[in-house]
Amino acid sequence: MIKGQLKKDIECIAGYYGFWTQATKLAEEGAELSAALCKMTYLNRRVAKGRRNIRLIAKKKEQAKDEFLKELADVLVVAEGIKFLLEADLFTGAEVSGNMRAKVQRQLERIKEEVLAEEE
């Protein structure tokens, strides 16, 4: 949970830009996170050939991990701002909470089905 000055600063940013700008920013940051994850996944699967490549790939993996963590932080900051804006709007916030509960239930059902399939 985000607290203190960081929380206040995120709320200030979200309040200044408003919901639609923040929602658009979240989509942008999500795309950047997706790209960083793809690169990190690719590098983690890549097999180094030769001693030079081992060091080079290890360096690239570390850079990709750092980039992924930066993009993840960006997504979480903007998402926290949107959460703040939604909590201020009880009607919209309630709708989003309902959709979140439905998503969680669907995912729990998928997990249950996977576990049952593995037991067969």
User: pLDDT at residue 2 above 90?
Assistant: no
| 47-59 pLDDT, tens digit each | 766 667 888 888 9
Given a contact cutoff of 8 angstroms between Cβ atoms, the answer to whether 30 and 38 are in contact is no
* Residues 61-99: b if buried by 16+ CB within 10 A, e if exposed: beebeebbeebeebbebbebbbbbbbeeeeeeeeeeeee
pTM summary value: 0.81
Given a contact cutoff of 8 angstroms between Cβ atoms, the answer to whether 67 and 39 are in contact is yes
| 22-48 pLDDT, tens digit each | 999 999 999 999 999 999 999 888 776
User: Which band of pLDDT confidence, cut at 50, 70 and 90, is reported for residue 111?
Assistant: very high
Domain ranges across the chain: 4-88
User: pLDDT at residue 62 above 70?
Assistant: yes
Please state the rounded mean pLDDT for residues 57-79.
Answer: 96
Given a contact cutoff of 8 angstroms between Cβ atoms, the answer to whether 81 and 22 are in contact is yes
